[in-house]
Copies of this chain bind each other. A is one copy, B any other.
Amino acid sequence: MSKVTIKTVAEHAGVSTATVSRALSGTGLVSPELRLAVTKAAEKLGYSGNTVARALRSSRTNAVGMVVPEIANPFMTDLVQEVEQSLHLHGIQLLLCNSRQDPSRERAALTSLIGRRVDGLIICPVDATSSFAGVEAAVQSLPVVQVDQRIEGLNADWVGVDDETAMRLIVEHLSSQGVTSAAFAGSKENDSSSKARLDAFLRHAGALGISVAKDNIFLDRYSVDCGRESMERLIRSGSLPNALVCAADIIAIGALQTCHAQKITVPDDLLITGFDDIEFANLCTPRLTTVRQPLKAIANHAVDILRSVHAEDDHAAVRLALAPTLVIRESSSARTHESAS
């Protein structure tokens, strides 16, 4: 039982609690001999410190909260992992909450984390509109940075991928493969990243003379099922476009699965592209052409912003769109077909 406090240590070392605190925290001046005595006593007693008391007194917890809408998408867990790693480098603990696509749960998570007095908040908002109030409230009491998803009209920092560039890379690549018609599968419209991707997709497709039928734009969720259903509807419609562009790898993987089941050959009958470059994009058959998100950079920047924003009240919100990388694999390119990993 860790019933040993600085008071215990102080008694054993023959000094005051103040000196113990100074010696152990490194702050403040302490003579070398006393510092040694304190250190030894602490070691001997197995003193470990009470983070809760420290937090109450100093109002710093060395913890940041993260709220994500979905932990089932590998992209999200990869991002969480990078954030965790980045925080770890600064000795900061991650408190993870899952909002499960539910704005009310999201709000509860924010409240809970703020009550725990985390030093900052990293959030991937569930919904561009219904998340507004909760996140706005959070912004007023501590540093908050949005990742991936963002809420329009909210004065809060955001770090994510450059969807515009990403879609340009994809569309240009498809065009170079001879694609003249394409479909799109993504998340619902009030999902900021899917919306940005769709907009950019349509713009670049138009510029390069790629036709996109209105009925061939499928908006549902970032899920495997969404990909399956989109592909099924495409097949049922009778005529396939040259390509299906997906706003997430898991959507593309669902589409691939339906193609396989329905004997549609990718990329011969149809090209398919994803988004994110999750690990399985490189493991499915055929391997998936996609754009890689700079996850480590996103995580690092998010953490840096959090650490730099010491509640400087109204600094202009930062919007950091980081460059993605096009990763060409077999699902969109005959040239690399069957090439080794």
Which residues of A pack against B, CB within 8 Å?
1-2, 48-53, 55-56, 61, 63, 71-72, 74, 77-78, 80-81, 84-85, 88, 93-98, 111-112, 114-117, 140-141, 224, 253-254, 257, 260-261, 279-280, 283-285, 340-341
Contact = CB atoms under 8 A, between A and B. Distances in A.
Contact of A284 (B49, B80, B94, B284): B284
Contact of A51 (B85, B98, B117): B117
Contacts of A280: 280, 283
Given A50-B56, A51-B112, 19 more contacts: A48-B114, A48-B115, A49-B115, A50-B117, A51-B115, A51-B117, A52-B55, A52-B61, A71-B84, A72-B81, A77-B77, A81-B98, A84-B98, A88-B98, A96-B96, A224-B279, A257-B283, A257-B341, A284-B285
Contacts of A85: 98
Contacts of A55: 52
A141 B52 CA distance: 16
A237 B21 CA distance: 63
A253 B48 contact: no
Contact of A2 (B49, B72, B141, B285): B141
Nearest to A253: B283
A122 B138 CA distance: 29
> How many protomers of this protein does the assembly include?
2
A95 B98 contact: no
B114 A2 contact: yes
A73 to B, nearest CB: 10
Nearest to A112: B93
A56 B52 contact: yes
7 contacts: A50-B56, A52-B56, A52-B117, A71-B81, A81-B98, A257-B341, A285-B285
Contacts of A2: 114, 141
A112 B88 CA distance: 11
A280 to B, nearest CB: 5
Which of A93, A117, A257, A260 has most B Cβ within 10 Å? A93
A98 to B, nearest CB: 5
A50 B140 contact: no
Contact of A52 (B1, B112, B116): B116
A340 B257 CA distance: 10
A77 to B, nearest CB: 5
A341 to B, nearest CB: 6
B84 A96 contact: yes
A246 B141 CA distance: 50
A77 B49 CA distance: 31
A180 B74 CA distance: 37
B81 A261 contact: no
Nearest to A95: B95
Contacts of A71: 77, 80-81, 84
A55 B50 CA distance: 11
Contacts of A257: 283, 341
A222 B109 CA distance: 32
